């Protein structure tokens, strides 16, 4: 391992290697931890399970899925509502704990996707590059390692967001230590778990499930489902994915009008992230929640 590679793993903004090698080549320094995290799920054979560990894993999945869908996606990527700087930081950190890189990296690539969806230059089009590339390959490739800073000037002005993005291993490592410690405390309290069991269920399994459920929006939601709106891409609405991703599965709706915080445009389209954002708005924690325009709703009803 070269010193430059080690520095880049610790500080993802430290080395600019965008012109080195094939941009579609896998970045093995990031691939290895990704694979090891998947393999660590098999440790469940040795640590077993408990209702406490499973409940924690499900709750941590829900919390991080909301952080990714409502904040990484709808807030940071599309600015579909406003919030305080403190709330922004809290959910940026929660999103970082899902190990999907920092908010600046995530938002910059997503904005690029919307600029070129399913066309030349789209970072994860299944129609152009195949299922596995759109699902996970693009994330682990050398060419997509660095954020596209020119697309997220509104985010780079916050030093705390730049820190989370540059040192994107910090929050996951703190999460690992915290979950292990919590497991030991819960075990001592007689709740039937321990540090290793809670770590395997609460971090490894929960994170891997969060990964692949999130990734289906790039891969499956551009292949399987229905198109209510005529868009320039292959985005589709998929009810099952909408349930799993707290509303992200209404992907054709989203590509028709990305600026709205609501992706389930109609009352029968369940969108849990939208309902939770409305709850935060009722509590005064977020505001200026952008709705779906009446003309767009009328267009969809007509189809």
Kindly indicate the confidence band of residue 167, based on its pLDDT and cuts at 50, 70 and 90.
Answer: very high
Cβ–Cβ < 8 Å for 56, 198? yes
In this predicted structure, what is the pLDDT of residue 222?
A: 94
Domain that holds residue 149: 29-302
The model's confidence at residue 254, banded by pLDDT at 50, 70 and 90, is very high
Classify 83 in phi/psi space as left (phi over 0), alpha (psi -120 to 50) or beta: beta
Lowest mean pLDDT among 6-10, 113-117, 178-182, 213-217: 6-10
Q: Does residue 232 register a pLDDT over 80?
A: yes
Instruction: Output the pLDDT for position 47.
Output: 96
pLDDT at residue 55 in the model:
98
Judge whether 3 lies within some domain. Answer: no
Average pLDDT over residues 248-256: 96
The answer to whether residue 4 sits within a structural domain is no
In 81-205, which residue ranges form alpha helices assigned H by DSSP? 85-96, 103-115, 126-129, 131-135, 153-156, 159-166, 170-188, 195-199
Structure tokens given for 80:
């579909």
Position 11 in a domain: no
- Look at residue 209 and tell me whether its pLDDT is greater than 80: yes
Question: pLDDT at residue 214 above 80?
Answer: yes
C-alpha–C-alpha distance, residues 34 and 30, integer Å:
6
Whether 20 is covered by a domain: the verdict is no
Q: Are strands 82-83 and 286-287 parallel, antiparallel or unpaired?
A: antiparallel
pLDDT of residue 8: 72
Is residue 209 domain-resident? yes
204, 43 contact by CB (below 8 A): yes
Give the model confidence (pLDDT) of 84-108 as tens digits. 999 999 999 999 999 999 999 999 9
Report whether pLDDT(234) > 70: yes
pLDDT at 152: 95
pLDDT at 120 over 60: yes
- pLDDT for res 129: 87
- Tally of structural domains, the chain: 1
Q: pLDDT value at position 139?
A: 92
Looking at residues 236-249, what average pLDDT do you find? 97
Residue closest to 93 by CA, chosen among 140, 179, 160 = 160
Q: How confident is the model at residue 142 (pLDDT cuts 50, 70, 90)?
A: confident
Q: Is residue 19 scored above 80 in pLDDT?
A: no
Quick one: pLDDT at residue 210? 97
pLDDT score recorded for residue 29? 79
Q: Is residue 24 part of a domain?
A: no
- Residue 5 pLDDT grade (very low, low, confident, very high; cuts 50, 70, 90): low
pLDDT of residue 81: 97
Question: pLDDT confidence of 17, banded at 50, 70, 90?
Answer: low
- 14 lies in some domain: no
Answer yes or no: is 243 within a domain. yes
Q: Tell me what pLDDT residue 90 has.
A: 97
Average pLDDT of every residue of the chain:
92
Q: What are phi and psi of 141, to 5 degrees?
A: -85, 155
Structure pTM?
0.94
């Amino acid at each position: 391992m070269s010193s430059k590679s080690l520095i880049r793993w610790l500080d993802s903004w430290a080395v600019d290697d965008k012109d080195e090698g094939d941009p579609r080549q896998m970045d093995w320094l990031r691939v290895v931890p990704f694979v090891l995290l998947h393999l660590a799920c098999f440790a469940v054979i040795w640590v077993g399970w408990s209702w406490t560990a499973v409940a924690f894993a499900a709750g941590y999945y829900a919390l991080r899925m909301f952080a990714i869908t409502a904040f990484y996606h709808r807030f940071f990527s599309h600015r579909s509502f406003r919030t305080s700087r403190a709330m922004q930081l809290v959910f940026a950190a929660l999103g970082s704990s899902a190990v999907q890189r920092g908010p600046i990296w995530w938002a910059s690539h997503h904005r690029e996707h919307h600029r070129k969806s399913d066309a030349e230059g789209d970072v994860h089009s299944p129609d152009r590059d195949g299922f596995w590339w759109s699902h996970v390959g693009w994330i682990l490739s050398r060419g997509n390692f660095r954020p596209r800073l020119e697309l997220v000037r509104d985010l780079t002005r916050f030093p705390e967001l730049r820190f989370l993005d540059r040192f994107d291993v910090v929050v996951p490592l703190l999460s690992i230590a915290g979950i292990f410690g919590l497991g030991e405390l819960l075990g001592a309290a007689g709740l039937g778990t321990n540090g290793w069991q809670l770590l395997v269920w609460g971090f490894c399994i929960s994170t891997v499930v969060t990964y692949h459920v999130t990734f289906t929006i790039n891969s499956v939601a551009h292949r399987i489902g229905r198109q209510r709106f005529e868009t320039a891409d292959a985005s589709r609405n998929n009810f099952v994915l909408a349930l799993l991703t707290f509303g992200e599965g209404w992907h054709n709706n989203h590509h028709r009008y990305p600026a709205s915080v609501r992706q389930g445009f109609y009352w029968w389209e369940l969108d849990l992230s939208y309902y939770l954002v409305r709850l935060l708005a009722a509590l005064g924690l977020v505001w200026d929640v952008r709705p779906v325009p009446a003309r767009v709703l009328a267009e969809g009803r007509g189809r």
